[in-house]
Amino acid sequence: MGTMNRPFFLLCIALLALAAAVSAVPVTGPIVITAPGTYELGADIRDAGENAAIEIRASNVVLEGGGHAIIGDSARELPGILVQGGTGAPADRVELRNLSLRGWQYGVHAIDVSGLVLDRVTARENGDHGLYLFSVTNSTVRNCTSVANHGSGVVLSDVSQDNVVDSTVASENDHNGLMLIASTRNRLLGNTVRGNGAYGIDGYLARDNVIADNLFINANNTHIEEFDRNTWSLTASGGPNIAGGPRRGGNLWGQPDGKGFSEVTPDANGDGFCDTPYTIGTGNVDELPLKGTGTGPTATTAPGFGGAGAFAALAILPLLRLRRR
């Protein structure tokens, strides 16, 4: 690029960014969004409309949270954000990012949506599930946090398929960390799931899902039904993995007492994998369970092994609540 053209190019980029910022619709209270566009939270919200604090009934919507919180008072059983398709058609391409939700029935409840993106969304201390995706397809949950909810952390339910949940924390929920109900072909990768009251991951009529490179440290890590068939490891590839080890493959299976499969099974050759597969149930085997502990990766001389997975062990929850679907 010539010297004379560079300032003009930079000016154009700046003008485009300014135009995008100006075009964002400010949101400072409960709203029903019925038109495409970019919306931006300008303040915390502590109130709700008829169905939610923010209800989205349109496609091609971006809601930028700017780090703000949407806080409920638990007096009304409403979701903080409700994303819902219109009559006869799902909502498509809705993105929620950089916001938190607390004190609602569900933090985010998405129904009949395609192309949903949840990015840096935190759901904490809600009356039921943190992030509840119902009949959602081709969507992504990434870099989110769903903790201390009275239901489950992240739920994919009722023919939710072809979704990705990655790099997300689902911990210390009263029921499950992750839950799959009648959902297929989803990919759950690189998540931290620990200290949940019922199961780390609970499956019911869940088939053909890929669940790999996750860290599970729960008193009960898994529940699957008799006919569930899922893939629990990928072909070994370069790391580091979720436990800080040298290669990615399966999951880390820990226990709050330090006696989980990944913690007690040897890794004689130091490749970061346990020497034997981990059988979860019929047709459900983690072929490459990761070697590690709840307090960090097991030492090895293999190249590339780092200390990225320093995870603190959690005490066993005194009472395990029954699984709720």
The domain segmentation of the chain, as residue ranges, is 36-286
The two beta strands, 278-281 and 284-286, are antiparallel
Tell me what pLDDT residue 312 has: 28
Q: What is the mean pLDDT of the chain?
A: 87
**Residue 214, CA distances (Å) to 125, 167, 254 in order:** 23, 9, 11
Tell me what pLDDT residue 121 has: 98
Tell me what pLDDT residue 313 has: 26
pTM: 0.85
What are 264-292's pLDDT values in tens digits? 999 999 999 999 999 999 999 999 999 99
6-10, 254-258, 294-298, 311-315: least confidently modelled range: 311-315
How is domain 36-286 classified at the CATH fold level? Pectate Lyase C-like (2.160.20)
> 123 by DSSP, 3-state: which?
strand
Phi/psi for 23 (5° steps) reads -75, -15
Tell me what pLDDT residue 74 has: 67
Quote the CA–CA distance of 161 and 183 in Å, as a whole number.
6
Say which residue, 153 or 318, is predicted with more confidence: 153
The structure tokens 């509840």 sit at 132
Say which residue, 226 or 187, is predicted with more confidence: 187
Q: What is the mean pLDDT of residues 29-33?
A: 96
Tell me what pLDDT residue 297 has: 47
